[in-house]
A and B are shown apart, each in its own frame.
Chain A
Amino acid sequence: MFYRLLSIVGRQRASPGWQNWSSARNSASAAEAHSMALPTQAQVVICGGGIMGTSVAYHLSKMGWKDIVLLEQGRLAAGSTRFCAGILSTARHLTIEQKMADYSNKLYHQLEQETGIQTGYTRTGSIFLAQTQDRLISLKRINARLNVIGIPSEIISPKKVAELHHLLNVHDLVGAMHVPEDAVVSSADVALALASAASQNGVQIYDRTSVLHVMVKKGQVTGVETDKGQIECQYFVNCAGQWAYELGLSNEEPVSIPLHACEHFYLLTRPLETPLQSSTPTIVDADGRIYIRNWQGGILSGGFEKNPKPIFTEGKNQLEIQNLQEDWDHFEPLLSSLLRRMPELETLEIMKLVNCPETFTPDMRCIMGESPAVQGYFVLAGMNSAGLSFGGGAGKYLAEWMVHGYPSENVWELDLKRFGALQSSRTFLRHRVMEVMPLMYDLKVPRWDFQTGRQLRTSPLYDRLDAQGARWMEKHGFERPKYFVPPDKDLLALEQSKTFYKPDWFDIVESEVKCCKEAVCVIDMSSFTKFEITSTGDQALEVLQYLFSNDLDVPVGHIVHTGMLNEGGGYENDCSIARLNKRSFFMISPTDQQVHCWAWLKKHMPEDSNLLLEDVTWKYTALNLIGPRAVDVLSELSYAPMTPDHFPSLFCKEMSVGYANGIRVMSMTHTGEPGFMLYIPIEYALHVYNEVMSVGQKYGIRNAGYYALRSLRIEKFFAFWGQDINNLTTPLECGRESRVKLEKICSSSLWWDHANHGRATEHRGKVLPSCYAACLEADLIRAGLESAKDITCSGPRLP
């Protein structure tokens, strides 16, 4: 079935490309897939001849790397690339995704000229329909973001929609967004054109060659084992699409690439009576869960249904590949939606229902970057059915990453290191992608939490907090309380709670914040990443002094706010470090930095058996006592004076709380409010929590959640790593000069030079508004808006 399909669709759609392709091959000895023996070594081996693999090869070779081998198990541009619907859309939810799509658009546009291979690129534009006011708000947000990065788009009326596309029923629309420069293109031909150009630049391409596994020595890629022999290499790029997960696991040292495939259906029809023009815009009706594009005079229409069918959970399975059949019953809701949108199509003749599995990731963002476990192992996969739109840009960023050590844009949101081994369970992936796929077209409101794959990592207090009305969010698999619903209050059901306006929990968080300001609150912050660095001699201090921007040679018991900067002076990590004793340090970083931070430390720490880095996240339960009365609670529980005279700010001491000894008490709250963090060995967690709550009663103690914490931080201009600052933000740009020991790094580090040569001032102009925005955010939350970032982008456009 699969193969029959391949030949039918392939011939119909890609045949012009193929013909040209062969002529191009004759004239330019282009990407002729080699049939000879594999080379024994190369600098880079890329696995996967789809749009991702060819794009990486194209960009690497453009950037001057020549010794590249691309391996494809079947034929070039088969797989998902072949069956992709061919829609290039720049309207994405993340700015980085929009940038990638924008670059892809420009790249594909000139590809035909560059390579002489027809790609079928047609600038059709696309129209995103809104059936509801909420959808319109969501489109307005995207529209504003597009405009900020210079992609033309506008919000249009239903009447205008009807003018742009005469087949559409617009009676139920409230508005739409028009993106005139979006395009359709044959993805297979794009991949072939990229391969051809890469091949002319020296990339060697071999098809019908499968990668069995990647050879690794001392955490470094050394070569690739294929069914046709071994290739030694320094870099390996996994662009294996839906097989990337399997390939990652096949290593001796597995590389976890969390993605999972779902079946995806689209319909092909014969041409209309008056064939549809090739410039007819693409329609996305997210409320109807469908997309519609013109296709050879007829239409191509598919969608993201509510009840997806996950596939290949147990890996590549011949039986499942053969069983990939058209499932009309499954397609019925989408078909009905199509006919509601375009009633005139009723008489249109069906050609085919195509079933082409697409890959999805746990957070609906693609996966790129270097493996934290194996150096030289790069990944580009998990496109959430936007492979064509991202292909060019993602390939470019990954190539830059490999050549320069980092991409030209901040791609943390897409970085493989945002995941760890904990997201690699097949069960988790299967369940999660069933939630992710419908989300493609669900309304995306701020602060949406995934409902599947939950309760994986929890604090020992989970049940206790849950019973007190905690509502939970998940970060890096860890359950964290958002806020606590008082017993007498009912919140809306999940589905109804989706809003762009003031959320129903607002008053709850407000009272929690108030309590933090006026009395005392306790927040379970166990999810924070905690490392311990110890050594026998002075190595720990030396390595930390080298890696961190602030001076860490402080007296024992002091806490330092600092971060690790990269060569460009940007923040790779934002953390607090407590000096436990002369030779050991305790490092606290944000939750989602667990993998990234570990990898960064491991990469830059010398191999020294006397230097020990340990992840102690699981060993401690962290309670944050925030508020003016925290002092009273703690001194009552420890019979020790906790006033600032005895326990100054940013100070750390092991002491007993209640009956439990060895609690690390730190006089900081991550919020700028007075109070203490308690790092409690987990077996004492429940005891300490109970004691704190019972003693705290008379001081008005209550539970609080992360939303309160967030609000407190924003009020004090505390930046969030990954959101407000990232690996392109220097300390100067975000007003953190005080956290840099200039004497220490002035001579060696680049960023200070940058600063002196005006880069900082140049950036200051850019960044200051966003700091200003951060302070605005507190007000905005009150207004029920998501984040200051949106506001600076969209300005007065938003309601």
Chain B
Amino acid sequence: MFGIFDGHGGHACAQAVSERLFYYVAVSLMSHQTLEHMEGAMESMKPLLPILHWLKHPGDSIYKDVTSVHLDHLRVYWQELLDLHMEMGLSIEEALMYSFQRLDSDISLEIQAPLEDEVTRNLSLQVAFSGATACMAHVDGIHLHVANAGDCRAILGVQEDNGMWSCLPLTRDHNAWNQAELSRLKREHPESEDRTIIMEDRLLGVLIPCRAFGDVQLKWSKELQRSVLERGFNTEALNIYQFTPPHYYTPPYLTAEPEVTYHRLRPQDKFLVLASDGLWDMLSNEDVVRLVVGHLTEADQHKTDLAQRPANLGLMQSLLLQRKASGLHEADQNAATRLIRHAIGNNEYGEMEAERLAAMLTLPEDLARMYRDDITVTVVYFNSESIGAYYKGG
């Protein structure tokens, strides 16, 4: 499973979702038997086998203090799943669907329920009042599911048999430029609100994505918001923007329900790019594919060049000089870095400009947001041979 989580109104929600969502999906996909084992272990206070095997970046942070509360909620979820008495667990599509919505409702409920510990309570509040869009991919053999809520995007890099590259979008951005989303919103709310529901290309004039986790100020009724916040939270200290947008008549306006797409991987599907809207604002799908392909070929070249090492010093020198001239050895460590470098370093003609890149990266924190969005990118490479083997093997 891979995921991209793009927060807004603070990082709390994105952080929480990034840590919790995979557990919900994993639990949804577990068989009845496994769930029973887990429940048994919990009941007898035995240690639980880890549900997930994380592949984290060393820099990734985690909320350590609150995991026990989160585990309790996860347990409630699997208890409910147990009650459903489904032998095989949910289908992947269902699992993704439920997990997104379940986690969002847990986030929303956690803050409504009384919490003793002040740290946990403040954190839950921050999570609920900030928001996050999410896009996650689930790969099982040749079965690729992508669930998306918000304006992150996933695309496939496809190499046709004739060697040409193309891109295959797997998600639709949930924002005001998406006609389907517009009609969904209009359908869900009374006709009187048709004009006010999207203003200045934003949901209620506030939010760009039309689906997201958290953001309870766009989900709860005004009364609920007031009653929760009046329970003595110091909202200012917590840096929460407590404000009900105008024309707030028929909540909820926002949902975390994902759009799930399925794709059967073919040998020509070479890689998957998941990225937050910051990247897509700057680069088109085609640009992204082109850049990743460029990186792939260079990395290949890099390897092959020196693997068959020239035998004598003269040849070695000329090879090294060639590589230096083509700037090869300065290649980015990975394709994701390269994408980000180009997203913020490209000038209006689509060329990399080192000065521009440096300027963009050294902007003071408070100014940076006016010139660039935060960008998160994950590039997943598929092994075409094993995909091919799948097809041959039946």
Residues of A within 8 A of B (CB): 267, 269, 328-329, 331-332, 335-336, 338-339, 345-350
Q: Which residues of B contact A329 (CB under 8 A)?
A: 320, 323-324, 328-329
Provide the B136-166 mask, 1 if CB < 8 A to any CB of A, else 0: 0000000000000000000000000000000
Provide the B288-323 mask, 1 if CB < 8 A to any CB of A, else 0: 000000000000000000100111111011001101
Q: Are B311 and A336 in contact (CB under 8 A)?
A: no
Q: Which residues of A contact B311 (CB under 8 A)?
A: 349-350
Q: Are A347 and B321 in contact (CB under 8 A)?
A: no
Interchain pairs with CB closer than 8 A, number: 47
Q: Are A350 and B309 in contact (CB under 8 A)?
A: yes
Q: Which residues of A contact B317 (CB under 8 A)?
A: 332, 335-336, 339, 346
Q: Are B320 and A349 in contact (CB under 8 A)?
A: no
Q: Which residues of A contact B321 (CB under 8 A)?
A: 332, 336
For the complex, give the distance between the alpha carbons of A204 and B317 in Å. Answer: 49
Among A335, A346, A348, the residue within 8 A (CB) of B320 is A335
For the complex, give the distance between the alpha carbons of A350 and B314 in Å. Answer: 10
For the complex, give the distance between the alpha carbons of A552 and B314 in Å. Answer: 72
Contacts A338-B313, A345-B313 known; 13 new A-B pairs at CB < 8 A: A269-B313, A328-B309, A328-B316, A328-B320, A329-B324, A336-B320, A336-B321, A339-B313, A347-B312, A347-B314, A349-B311, A350-B310, A350-B313
Among A267, A331, A346, the residue within 8 A (CB) of B314 is A346
CB B314 to nearest CB in A, in angstroms, measures: 3
CB A293 to nearest CB in B, in angstroms, measures: 16
Q: Which residues of B contact A349 (CB under 8 A)?
A: 311-312
Q: Which residues of B contact A335 (CB under 8 A)?
A: 313, 316-317, 320
Residues of B within 8 A of A (CB): 306, 309-314, 316-317, 320-321, 323-324, 328-329
For the complex, give the distance between the alpha carbons of A331 and B324 in Å. Answer: 11
CB A29 to nearest CB in B, in angstroms, measures: 45
For the complex, give the distance between the alpha carbons of A510 and B312 in Å. Answer: 57
- Of chain A, the residue at the smallest CB distance from B309 is A350
Q: List 28 A-B contacts (CB under 8 A).
A: A269-B313, A328-B306, A329-B324, A331-B320, A332-B321, A332-B323, A335-B313, A335-B317, A336-B317, A336-B320, A336-B321, A338-B313, A339-B314, A345-B313, A345-B314, A346-B312, A346-B313, A346-B317, A347-B313, A347-B314, A348-B312, A348-B313, A349-B311, A349-B312, A350-B309, A350-B310, A350-B311, A350-B316
Q: Which residues of B contact A332 (CB under 8 A)?
A: 317, 320-321, 323-324
For the complex, give the distance between the alpha carbons of A372 and B241 in Å. Answer: 58
For the complex, give the distance between the alpha carbons of A697 and B77 in Å. Answer: 81
Nearest first, the 5 A-B pairs at minimum CB distance are A346-B314, A329-B329, A332-B320, A347-B312, A348-B313
Q: Which residues of B contact A350 (CB under 8 A)?
A: 309-313, 316
Q: Which of A328, A339, A350 has the most CB of B within 10 A?
A: A328
Q: Which residues of B contact A339 (CB under 8 A)?
A: 313-314, 317
Q: Which residues of B contact A331 (CB under 8 A)?
A: 320
For the complex, give the distance between the alpha carbons of A790 and B336 in Å. Answer: 57
Q: Which of B306, B313, B320, B323 has the most CB of A within 10 A?
A: B313
Q: Which residues of B contact A338 (CB under 8 A)?
A: 313
For the complex, give the distance between the alpha carbons of A335 and B318 in Å. Answer: 10
CB A131 to nearest CB in B, in angstroms, measures: 20
For the complex, give the distance between the alpha carbons of A631 and B334 in Å. Answer: 69
CB A712 to nearest CB in B, in angstroms, measures: 45
For the complex, give the distance between the alpha carbons of A348 and B320 in Å. Answer: 16
Q: Which of A338, A345, A350 has the most CB of B within 10 A?
A: A350
For the complex, give the distance between the alpha carbons of A339 and B320 in Å. Answer: 13
For the complex, give the distance between the alpha carbons of A599 and B321 in Å. Answer: 54
For the complex, give the distance between the alpha carbons of A335 and B324 in Å. Answer: 13
For the complex, give the distance between the alpha carbons of A349 and B312 in Å. Answer: 4
- Of chain A, the residue at the smallest CB distance from B330 is A329
CB A330 to nearest CB in B, in angstroms, measures: 8
Q: Which residues of B contact A345 (CB under 8 A)?
A: 313-314
CB A273 to nearest CB in B, in angstroms, measures: 12
For the complex, give the distance between the alpha carbons of A391 and B317 in Å. Answer: 35
For the complex, give the distance between the alpha carbons of A350 and B328 in Å. Answer: 22
CB A38 to nearest CB in B, in angstroms, measures: 39
For the complex, give the distance between the alpha carbons of A254 and B316 in Å. Answer: 47
CB B300 to nearest CB in A, in angstroms, measures: 16
For the complex, give the distance between the alpha carbons of A329 and B305 in Å. Answer: 11
For the complex, give the distance between the alpha carbons of A328 and B321 in Å. Answer: 11
For the complex, give the distance between the alpha carbons of A335 and B320 in Å. Answer: 9
CB A348 to nearest CB in B, in angstroms, measures: 5
For the complex, give the distance between the alpha carbons of A716 and B311 in Å. Answer: 65
For the complex, give the distance between the alpha carbons of A350 and B315 in Å. Answer: 10
CB B327 to nearest CB in A, in angstroms, measures: 11
Q: Which residues of A contact B316 (CB under 8 A)?
A: 328, 335, 350
CB A182 to nearest CB in B, in angstroms, measures: 25
Q: Which residues of A contact B313 (CB under 8 A)?
A: 267, 269, 335, 338-339, 345-348, 350
CB A634 to nearest CB in B, in angstroms, measures: 46
Q: Which residues of A contact B329 (CB under 8 A)?
A: 329
- Of chain A, the residue at the smallest CB distance from B306 is A328
Q: Which residues of A contact B323 (CB under 8 A)?
A: 329, 332
Q: Which residues of A contact B324 (CB under 8 A)?
A: 329, 332
For the complex, give the distance between the alpha carbons of A332 and B316 in Å. Answer: 9
- Of chain B, the residue at the smallest CB distance from A345 is B313
Q: Which residues of B contact A269 (CB under 8 A)?
A: 313
CB A594 to nearest CB in B, in angstroms, measures: 38
Q: Which residues of B contact A328 (CB under 8 A)?
A: 306, 309, 316, 320
Q: Which residues of B contact A347 (CB under 8 A)?
A: 312-314
For the complex, give the distance between the alpha carbons of A348 and B313 in Å. Answer: 6
